[in-house]
Structure 1
Amino acid sequence: MDGDDARHHGRDRVRRAGAAVERGADGVGPRPHCPHRLCLHHLLHRLPPLRLLPLAGPRPRQAQLHLHGRRPLLPRPREVVVCGITQYTILCGAVVGYTITAATGIMSVVRSNCRHYKGHGADCSQEGTMYLVMFGVIEVVLSQLPSLEKVTFVSIVAAVMSFTYSFVALFLSAAKFASNHKASGTIFGSHIGGPGGVSAATRTWSFLQALGNIAFAYTYAMLLIEIQDTVKAPPSENVTMKRASMYGIGVTTAFYVSLGCIGYAAFGNAAPGNILTGFDEPFWLVDLANIAVVIHLVGAYQVYVQPVFACYEKKLRARYPDAAFFHRELALRLPGRRGALRFTMAKLVLRTAFVVATTVVSLMLPFFNAILGLLGAAAFFPLTVYFPVTMYITQAKVPRGSGKWVALQALNVGALVVSLLAAVGSVADIVQRLGHVTMFKTQL
């Protein structure tokens, strides 16, 4: 991925900082004494990338993704393959999550307006299949456009939308907390058994799923190197990025802790997974935040899916060098646009098929928090910790059995345990929800 596309990924990192709006409150909810857990995640996410940063130097800015330029540092060919598969799988999973989130945002806008005009006691339940399909149609059209690197305004819009819905959610949570005149919830979270209580299994799954949600919100290792490639020197790229990483993740952690804990204090154990769905008034402000989420996700979907397109299109063109389906360009002139829009039949057919496939998966699995928790669990250990640490050990020639080597391996083991626990919680939640929902029917 080149420098401009990296900046778009950087803007999406801002969105992830605001992702606590949608996931942090629910992840923290069952455990109000959460700041130390979030800070622990802060350390787990900060250390491996800082290990990777000193390895960086000037590289050709080719269309490469994340750790591609560092893959030769992986000691075994199998690890190179696993690294690539993991990266692209997480990107595909992320766009499924974005599709579900966007549909939820649209449904929230419709429900908010319904309750405002018909009263809060009105039946304003929403069925989101149509909105998922609408979002998919929009992405089919956008996927045919040229690379996002040439659409610079997307970065600006993404940043504005991120800050908009993030701070609206924080403001609304703080206002609700203040109006309650006391903190909701309990010191130890949901109590087990009794009226309003939950089973021990449900409480355990919720806690484990929360780990996955936090891990997903913090996964920024996929963006680190691309952003670094856009930094001008002097000072050295790795010095600048070390400082930026330290301050950026510190601020992000502070925001997560603030929103997660204030959101829990406002809603208690009833904190919704997407915290914006917990507010109805002022309806115009809630609508503004949800619309900002949807607008951002329209662009964020393309930011994450374009590298996938580039990967398989490049491989297919190389595999079939004489096939007109992959190489013959067609031109389409659009009103008000200079020049013609050029595309191949492969681009038209395969990109459309990909978007349709992700939309169908979103219709089949409309589980907002569970899906994101599973993605976070899957990405956290390999992409955030294991591969960066392994590359550092190889590049720095850390002696096997030394104190530093043991500490880094302990970090790997700890991250693996967190990922496995989070995956178990998310899978358990998905299995539980499968018994209470209808396929191809998304409801709010």
Structure 2
Amino acid sequence: MSEEETKKRGARSEGNNKDINDWLPITSSRNAKWYYSAFHNVTAMVGAGVLGLPYAMSQLGWGPGAVVLILSWIITLYTLWQMVEMHEMIPGKRLDRYHELGQAAFGEKVGLWIVVPQQLIVEVGSNIVYMVTGGTCLQKVYNTACPSCRPLKLTYFIAIFSSTQFILCHCPNFNAITCVSFVAAIMSLGYSLIGWGASVHKGITPDVDYSPRASTSIGRMFGFFAALGEVAFAYAGHSVVLEIQATMPSTPERPSKIPMWRGVILAYIIVLVCYFPVAFLGYAAFGNTVADNILISLQKPRWLICMANAGVVIHVIGSYQIFAMGVFDMLESYLVKQRNFTPSTSLRCIVRTTYVALTMFLGMTFPFFHGLLSFFGGFAFAPITYFLPCIIWLKIYKPKRYGLSWFTNWICIILGVLLTILAPIGGLRHIILRATSYKFYS
């Protein structure tokens, strides 16, 4: 083959890749504003996780609970900053996906196998939990608004919730769901304010008990482990942060990290406003009797509880789409680039509809809300969020040994590994205990 033919073939290949990237959901639109980052990050983080924080506090106790929450906020903000910085660490190239960052650090094949399985567990796991959360809160609205109505199975409410996802899943890219994400972010603020505001209004009852939730030392230990996973689940946005940054324009004079970081700061301020009051005030009001979803513990006034649960439903509609968009990109990339499928609307329709149906089925089959938070929070969220960015940072930038950066990253890695080992144990135990008395599709 002549040199000219080689150049032509290379140019054709490059052109084809550009056409495919212009079709894929992550890279098809790069005109996002800085506040899009804030919407998407708030929608990705604040959701099912915040509702379980008072329950986590009841297993951790005041002192350990406060330490875990504060450390998690600081560590995850630091690792998120690292990812934003590493997005364009290679001159002239953007690392638009988490697995591309992994490949830059560990090599083409190894990086893919390190990141993709964990990222898929995080995103698919989140979508399953959001199916359960959406259905549970819809059921709560129904039961609260009409206590004399005929009780309906949770399965029906999950099916109702999933109907919105069957429609929204056909939005082509991140920027197409910006309005959904904005409404979801507003809802997260709303129901968080209702959650801790109603707790303050209820007040601390005379018989409130802050002693350990479990009666045995073994139970307290497993509860502590599970609570760590619940806190980890509350900081779930890292699995899609590079994908969100990929939607922003970038020039040498104004790289994408500038507007992205501006949005992240706003998002983390909102997270601070939502998480800490809900966790502390919810636990203060109910003590060790708080439910695994704080809104379930709140019974009055009925209209306010209906509003809060409706807000959660609207929020997780957006959250589901944020995490699903990353999965859609992986599936469509694989089918088009590896299996040579033609990029088309019909392919996108089949892939996305099948995925929503699968998460709906799994949510109906395994609706163990609290156990799912703990298990997924430790097993997959901790590596993706707490220490994998630190490992990549050490490998690429090679900071001075025993310097501040070196120590900071190793502390995050050690804490993250402990979280990954301990949290799934507590979550799995809870799932097993619930499964022994559970009737499928009840």
Residues 165 and 292 in structure 1, CA contact (< 8 A), matched pair in contact too: yes
Question: For 2:46 and 2:268, how far apart are their aligned partners in 1?
Answer: 9
Aligned residue type for 2:39 = R
Residues 1:286 and 2:293 are matched in the alignment: no
Identity of aligned residues (%): 23
Partner of 1:184: 208
Q: What SS does the corresponding residue of 1:218 show, helix, strand or coil?
A: coil
Q: Specify whether residues 427 and 399 from structure 1 end up closer, same or farther in structure 2 by C-alpha distance, changes over 3 A only.
A: same
Aligned residue type for 1:185 = D
Residues 1:13 and 2:2 are matched in the alignment: no
Residues 1:204 and 2:234 are matched in the alignment: no
Aligned partner (choices 197, 200, 204) of residue 174 of structure 1: 200
Q: What SS does the corresponding residue of 1:439 show, helix, strand or coil?
A: coil
Residues 1:267 and 2:293 are matched in the alignment: no
Aligned residue type for 2:143 = R
Residues 1:39 and 2:70 are matched in the alignment: yes
Q: What SS does the corresponding residue of 2:76 show, helix, strand or coil?
A: helix
Q: Specify whether residues 125 and 45 from structure 1 end up closer, same or farther in structure 2 by C-alpha distance, changes over 3 A only.
A: same
1:10, distance to aligned residue in structure 2 (A)? 4.2
Aligned residue type for 2:68 = R
Q: What SS does the corresponding residue of 1:388 show, helix, strand or coil?
A: helix
Question: For 2:363 and 2:268, how far apart are their aligned partners in 1?
Answer: 30
Q: Specify whether residues 328 and 384 from structure 1 end up closer, same or farther in structure 2 by C-alpha distance, changes over 3 A only.
A: closer
Question: For 2:261 and 2:333, how far apart are their aligned partners in 1?
Answer: 33
Residues 138 and 313 in structure 2, CA contact (< 8 A), matched pair in contact too: yes
For normalisation by structure 1, the TM-score amounts to: 0.81
Mapping for residues 401-440 of structure 1, pairs under 5 Å = 405=406, 408-440=409-441
Question: For 1:220 and 1:170, how far apart are their aligned partners in 2?
Answer: 23
Residues 74 and 390 in structure 1, CA contact (< 8 A), matched pair in contact too: no
Question: For 1:149 and 1:392, how far apart are their aligned partners in 2?
Answer: 29
Q: What SS does the corresponding residue of 2:324 show, helix, strand or coil?
A: helix
Cα RMSD, aligned residues only? 3.2
Aligned residue type for 2:285 = A
Mapping for residues 197-276 of structure 1, pairs under 5 Å = 198-228=215-245, 230=248, 238=257, 245=264, 248-249=267-268, 252-253=271-272, 255-276=274-295
Aligned partner (choices 335, 342, 345) of residue 327 of structure 1: 342
Q: Specify whether residues 413 and 129 from structure 1 end up closer, same or farther in structure 2 by C-alpha distance, changes over 3 A only.
A: same
Residues 219 and 384 in structure 1, CA contact (< 8 A), matched pair in contact too: yes
Deviations 1:276-321 (A, max 9, x none): 1112222111111111111222232222212212222222123443
Q: Specify whether residues 374 and 11 from structure 1 end up closer, same or farther in structure 2 by C-alpha distance, changes over 3 A only.
A: farther
Question: For 2:31 and 2:313, how far apart are their aligned partners in 1?
Answer: 23
Residues 1:306 and 2:338 are matched in the alignment: no
Residues 272-281 or 50-59, more deviating: 50-59
Question: For 2:93 and 2:382, how far apart are their aligned partners in 1?
Answer: 27
1:189, distance to aligned residue in structure 2 (A)? 2.6
Question: For 1:99 and 1:294, how far apart are their aligned partners in 2?
Answer: 10
Deviations 1:186-230 (A, max 9, x none): 2x433x6xxxxx333322222211111111111332344345553
Question: For 1:166 and 1:308, how far apart are their aligned partners in 2?
Answer: 28
Residues 1:29 and 2:42 are matched in the alignment: no
Q: Specify whether residues 60 and 259 from structure 1 end up closer, same or farther in structure 2 by C-alpha distance, changes over 3 A only.
A: farther
Partner of 2:181: 155
Q: What SS does the corresponding residue of 1:29 show, helix, strand or coil?
A: helix
Q: Specify whether residues 106 and 259 from structure 1 end up closer, same or farther in structure 2 by C-alpha distance, changes over 3 A only.
A: same
Residues 74-83 or 203-212, more deviating: 74-83
Residues 193 and 274 in structure 2, CA contact (< 8 A), matched pair in contact too: no
Residues 63-72 or 398-407, more deviating: 398-407
Residues 32 and 189 in structure 1, CA contact (< 8 A), matched pair in contact too: no
| Structure 2 unaligned residues grouped into runs of 5+ | 1-25
Residues 363-372 or 405-414, more deviating: 405-414
Mapping for residues 298-377 of structure 1, pairs under 5 Å = 298-321=317-340, 326-327=341-342, 343-344=345-346, 346-377=347-378
Partner of 1:74: 106
Partner of 2:394: 393
1:244, distance to aligned residue in structure 2 (A)? 6.2
Q: Specify whether residues 162 and 232 from structure 1 end up closer, same or farther in structure 2 by C-alpha distance, changes over 3 A only.
A: farther
Aligned residue type for 1:14 = V
Deviations 1:46-89 (A, max 9, x none): 33333444444488898943453463123684243221221122
Question: For 1:380 and 1:129, how far apart are their aligned partners in 2?
Answer: 26
For normalisation by structure 2, the TM-score amounts to: 0.81
Residues 381 and 412 in structure 1, CA contact (< 8 A), matched pair in contact too: no
Residues 391 and 413 in structure 2, CA contact (< 8 A), matched pair in contact too: no
Residues 57 and 280 in structure 2, CA contact (< 8 A), matched pair in contact too: yes
Residues 52 and 389 in structure 1, CA contact (< 8 A), matched pair in contact too: no
Question: For 1:140 and 1:28, how far apart are their aligned partners in 2?
Answer: 36
| Structure 1 unaligned residues grouped into runs of 5+ | 193-197, 330-342
Partner of 2:145: 113
1:410, distance to aligned residue in structure 2 (A)? 4.1
Question: For 2:175 and 2:287, how far apart are their aligned partners in 1?
Answer: 43
1:133, distance to aligned residue in structure 2 (A)? 1.8
Deviations 1:365-393 (A, max 9, x none): 11111112212112333212332112211
